[in-house]
Amino acid sequence: MTATDNSTVRDADALRADMVRALHDQDAITSEPVAAAFAVVPRHRFAPEAPLDLAYDLHSTVPVKKDENGLNLSVMSAAHLQAVMLEQADIKPGMKVLEIGSGGYNAALIQELVGNDGVVTTVDIDRDVVDRARRCLDDAGYGQVKTVLADAEAGVPDDAPYDRIIVTAAAWDIPPSWIKELTGNGRLVVPLTVRGTTRSIAFDRDGEGLISRSYRLARFVPMQGEGAAKERKALLRDGVVVQTDDERVPLNTKALNQALDTPRREFWSGAAYDLPDELELYLTLHLSSAARLHASKEIVDSGFVETSALLGVPALVSEDSIAYRTRRENEDTGGFESGVVAHGPQAEALADEYLKLLRRWAENHRCRGAATIRFLPGPAPSTLPENSVLKRHGIVAVSWH
């Protein structure tokens, strides 16, 4: 080993120790086994092209492969998110685990958690990614992890059933194979996209279906292949996009652009704005015609669209009008008050519907962890129950407590 190699190893060891401490401090790591796995697996060996400080940054992904437009197809996921998901998965020694979406690092962490008596299989749809993961795993001493090239929509039957399945790409749906390949008391941790927002959900088997034990907001590269999401997008103007996966929602680009040209109108709910994750889930399930409004930083900085649209905000859309959530400081009570910005001829009617939901949520459901999410597989029911969203392989149903 050269002097440079020695100092790289020392730097990486120090950065890794800092990373583990910070993941603890930020409550991403909450258990001893997960801390031990992060402390031992050399993360930089799975990102050999990246500078050490990027490889060990808590919240950064490391690019692995991009499409022809420069969008990420594969990345090494951020350490913070990996820690959160491994805690959600509650992996024990001796378990059999399937990881969907490969890179090598997360599979190595899982191998540490299951130990020598456990089995880890990682599957990816992309040959380059599988080959790279294989090389990194062998190089870092995790030759026992199995790598498979396949579209995970059909599952990986050879090693099934699995005690845990961890999905590391944003899934729009839950194909039957993932439930079928879980043991009776198995757990599926999946970044599931519901009406445009992705949450990492820990689901346990519940009869034929699944019931959530925890959920956290998460961002992932999209699932490719058979299970890829089919969304419609309206590009309203540079940096403003409205998108939806709900076939019933009208997306009339010209009329919505005209709506944005009409003066903005603000309406205030008088209700508190906080716990945005639960609020957004509630809104997207109850808005009669729900889409998601995204705006670039330049457009937000120009004051044309509210900051809430930077990461995407639930929007209520009609043929010619649009309304979306905003907030302002509440000087009387502290914190924030929720409100609505609306444009177009039906601005008032849309704002009225939106405000009712903001108030109802604040009165009845404003509580961290208030949602229980179920996945009920099977054909579409003749009428969709309240609080649910139709998928290809079943419905996502949410109850509030």
Ligand X SMILES: C[S@@+](CC[C@H](N)C(=O)[O-])C[C@H]1O[C@@H](n2cnc3c(N)ncnc32)[C@H](O)[C@@H]1O
- Sign for the CA dihedral angle at 120, 123, 127, 130 comes to negative
Q: In this chain, which of 35, 58, 73, 349 binds ligand X, going by CB under 6 A?
A: 73
Closer to ligand X by CB, 151 or 352: give it.
151
Q: In this chain, which of 111, 147, 168, 200 binds ligand X, going by CB under 6 A?
A: 168
- d(C-alpha 368, C-alpha 354), whole Å: 21
Q: Is 139 in the site for ligand X (CB under 6 A)?
A: no
Stretches 148-156, 233-241, 265-273, 383-391: which one binds ligand X (CB under 6 A)?
148-156
The 10 Å CB-count burial string (b at 16+, else e) for 148-172 is bebbbbebbeebbebbbbbbbbbbb
Q: Is 191 in the site for ligand X (CB under 6 A)?
A: no
Give the DSSP letter string of 102-137. --SHHHHHHHHHH-TT-EEEEEES-HHHHHHHHHHH
- d(C-alpha 118, C-alpha 122), whole Å: 13
Instruction: Look up tokens 């790598």; give the residue.
Output: 147
Stretches 70-78, 156-164, 264-272, 314-322: which one binds ligand X (CB under 6 A)?
70-78
With CB under 6 A, what is the number of residues at the site for ligand X?
29
Q: Is 130 in the site for ligand X (CB under 6 A)?
A: no
Report which residue type is found at 289. S
- d(C-alpha 34, C-alpha 87), whole Å: 7
Is residue 77 among the annotated active site residues?
yes
CA-based angle 333:339:345, to the nearest 5?
Answer: 155
- d(C-alpha 120, C-alpha 288), whole Å: 43
Q: Is 169 in the site for ligand X (CB under 6 A)?
A: yes
Q: Is 126 in the site for ligand X (CB under 6 A)?
A: yes
Q: Is 347 in the site for ligand X (CB under 6 A)?
A: no
Closer to ligand X by CB, 114 or 350: give it.
114
Alpha helices, DSSP H only, in 140-228? 176-180
Find the shortest distance in angstroms from Cβ 263 to ligand X: 42
Q: Is 234 in the site for ligand X (CB under 6 A)?
A: no
**Secondary structure tally for the chain: helices H, strands E:** 11, 19
Determine which one of 74, 77, 102, 388 is catalytic: 77
Q: In this chain, which of 29, 45, 83, 101 binds ligand X, going by CB under 6 A?
A: 101
Q: Is 74 in the site for ligand X (CB under 6 A)?
A: yes
Q: Is there a cis peptide before residue 161, judged by omega within 30 degrees of 0?
A: yes
Q: In this chain, which of 37, 129, 234, 342 binds ligand X, going by CB under 6 A?
A: 129
Q: Is 223 in the site for ligand X (CB under 6 A)?
A: yes
Stretches 94-102, 197-205, 313-321, 375-383: which one binds ligand X (CB under 6 A)?
94-102
Residues in the chain, how many?
401
Closer to ligand X by CB, 35 or 228: give it.
228
Closest CA to 119 of 92, 101, 137: 92
Find the shortest distance in angstroms from Cβ 27 to ligand X: 21
Q: Is 124 in the site for ligand X (CB under 6 A)?
A: yes
Q: Is 77 in the site for ligand X (CB under 6 A)?
A: yes
Q: In this chain, which of 16, 23, 103, 269 binds ligand X, going by CB under 6 A?
A: 103
Which tokens sit at 379?
A: 């054909």
Q: Is 221 in the site for ligand X (CB under 6 A)?
A: yes
Q: Is 112 in the site for ligand X (CB under 6 A)?
A: no
DSSP bridge partners of 190: 201
* Catalytic residue list: 77
Q: Rule CB under 6 A: which residues touch ligand X?
A: 73-77, 99-106, 123-126, 129, 151-153, 168-169, 220-221, 223-225, 227
